[in-house]
Amino acid sequence: PDAICLQEVGEWGGDGATAGFGNHPSNAVNQILERISNKQYHVFMDWTHYGWQVWKEGTALLTKQAPLYQESRYISKKSDNDLRYWKSRKATHVQIDTPNSGKIKLFSTHTGWWDDKDEPFKFQFQRLAQWANETPNVETTLLCGDFNQPASTVGYQYIFNNSDYQDLY
Q: Name the residue among 136, 135, 123 with its Cα closest to residue 162.
A: 123
Burial of 33 (0-12, 13-18, 19+ CB in 10 A): middle
**What number of other Cβ atoms are within 10 A of residue 81's Cβ?**
8
Q: With CA atoms as reference, report the closest residue to 51 among 25, 85, 89, 81.
A: 85
- Record the pTM: 0.91
Taking only the tens place, the pLDDT of each residue in 15-32 is: 766 667 888 888 899 898
pLDDT tens-place string over residues 93-121: 999 998 888 899 999 999 999 999 999 99
Query: Tens of pLDDT along the chain (169 residues)?
Result: 889 999 999 888 877 666 678 888 888 998 988 888 877 899 999 988 888 888 889 999 999 999 999 999 999 997 766 778 899 999 999 999 988 888 999 999 999 999 999 999 999 999 999 999 987 778 899 999 999 999 889 999 999 998 888 888 7
